[in-house]
Amino acid sequence: MKPLAERMRPTSLDNYIGQKHLVGEGAVLRQAIENGKIPSFILWGPPGVGKTTLAGIIANTLERPFHALSAINSGVKDIRETIQKAQSNRFFNAPNPILFIDEIHRFSKSQQDSLLGAVEKGIVTLIGATTENPSFEVISALLSRSQVYVLQHLAKEEMIQMIDVALVKDEYLNKLDVKIEEYDALLHFSGGDGRKLYNVLELVTNFAKEGETLTITNRSVTDIIQQNIAAYDKSGEQHYDIISAFIKAIRGSDPNAAVYYLARMIEGGEDVKFIARRLVISASEDIGLANPNALLMATTAFQAATLIGFPEARIILSQATIYLATSPKSNASYMAIGNAQAKVRETGNLPIPLSLRNAPTKLMKELNYGKDYKYSHSYEGNFAEQEFMPPEISGETFYEPGNNASEAKTRAHLKGLWKEKYGY
C-alpha cells in the first residue's frame, strides 16, 4: 500500500493546498500555466511544501511529457540520456517536455553545465526543486535562464485543511471513525512539512479499531509519536532538526555535542557546503566581536572544505566546529543590525546631515554639502566629536557591546570617545 502522502498527492491545481501567492487565482505561476506558456524555473522552499507535486501538476495540466531526475543519484550520463530521450520523443510542433530535477542544489557545476544547451535550445523546460538558496547553489548561467519561485511553509489553516480532506477522501481513512479534538500536536510534529503531516496522521490512525471511535488529542498524538519515532520519520528527513541542534550546540559552547551532530550530518550524506556555510553564519551571529578570528576561521574552513570535499573535509569542519564552540560568544553585531533595521523601518529615509553629504559639484558646495565636516585623522587620537546621525535619532544606541573581554575593551574605548552620548 502506498503511503498516505502519495495517496493524497493532488493532480490538479484545484486540489493543491498552499502557495496561494504562486498558484492562487490570478497569481503569476497560475497565469503562466493557464496560458500554457511556462518558462524554465526553480522552486525554492523547505521540505514538504509541494515542490515535486506542483511540477507534476504542471506537466499533467499542460499534457507535457514529464521526465524526472533526482540529483542524489543522477550523474551527467543520466542527464544526457534523459535529454536525448526527450528530444527523440518530441514530435513536430509538440510542446517542450518538462525535465524535473529534484534537489538540483546537489548537482555539481559540470552536471548543471550539461543542462544549459537543452534549456537554451528549448529541448526541455527545466523545473528544478531546491531547499537551498539558488543564488549560492545554481550556476549563474542556468539561473539567468530560469525564473525563481519561492515556496513558503504551509500555514496552520492549510495543514488543518489537508488533514480534514485526507479523512474524507482517502480510500482507507474514510472508512475509519476518527474524531479530532485537538490539532496542535499533529501540526507541531510536522513542522510545516506536508509529507511529515501525513506521516503523523497515518501513524496515529493506524491505532484505530474497527467499530470504535478514534479520538485524536494532543496527548494521544504525543504518546504515539514518542513510542514510534522511527516510523514517524519514515523518510529519514532530519535535515533541519540536526542543523538546528548543531548550531545550538555551538552557540551553547558544547564542542562535544557540536561534533556529534556534525558526525550525524556527515554520515547522513549532508552537503559539505551546507554545513560549512552554517559555520560562517554562526561565526558572525553567535561569536562575532567576542572573537573576530572566528569569522576568518569559518570562512577559511568553507573554502578549504569545498575545495577538498569529503572524506578529508570532515577534519576541516571538525576543527572549525570545535574552534567556534570553544570561543567566547556575542550576538551584539546580530542585535545591532536588527535594531538599526527596525529603526529604519520605523523612521523611513531620514535626511543625511549636510556635513556628511558628498559634494562633487559647485552647486552642492553652495548648498553646504560637506560643510563643517571634521576629518577625523586630522585630530588627536584620530577622533573629532561631531554628529553622524540624522538629528531625529541623535543618541540612538544600536550596538550594545557583549559581556566578554574583547568587547569590554570596546565599551571602554567608546565611552572614552563619546562620554555619555550613547550610554556606554
Q: Which of 387, 403, 276 is nearest to 332 (CA)?
A: 403
Mean pLDDT of successive 10-residue stretches along the chain, which has 424 residues: 89 91 91 88 90 92 87 81 80 77 85 87 89 85 90 91 93 90 89 88 86 89 74 55 89 90 84 91 93 95 89 91 93 91 88 79 71 84 87 88 88 88 85
d(CA 44, CA 55): 12
β-pair type (125-130, 98-102): parallel
- Where are the alpha helices (H) located in 173-238, listed in sequence order? 184-190, 194-205, 218-227, 229-232
* Nine cell digits for residue 149: 519561485
What type of residue is 263?
A: A
d(CA 237, CA 48): 10
338: helix, strand or coil:
helix
Phi and psi dihedrals of 100, rounded to 5?
Answer: -100, 125
33: helix, strand or coil:
helix
Using N-to-C axis directions, what is the helix angle for 109-120 and 76-88, rounded to 10°?
10
3-state DSSP helix/strand/coil % of the chain, to nearest 5: 55, 5, 35
Grid cell 470504535 is found at 212
d(CA 406, CA 424): 15
Domains and CATH numbers, the chain: 18-150 (3.40.50.300), 156-232 (1.10.8.60), 239-325 (1.20.272.10)
Residue 278 vs residues 131, 132, 138, 251, 287: alpha-carbon distances, Å: 14, 12, 18, 12, 13
Residue 137 vs residues 130, 277, 279, 350: alpha-carbon distances, Å: 9, 11, 17, 37
* Nine cell digits for residue 148: 525563481
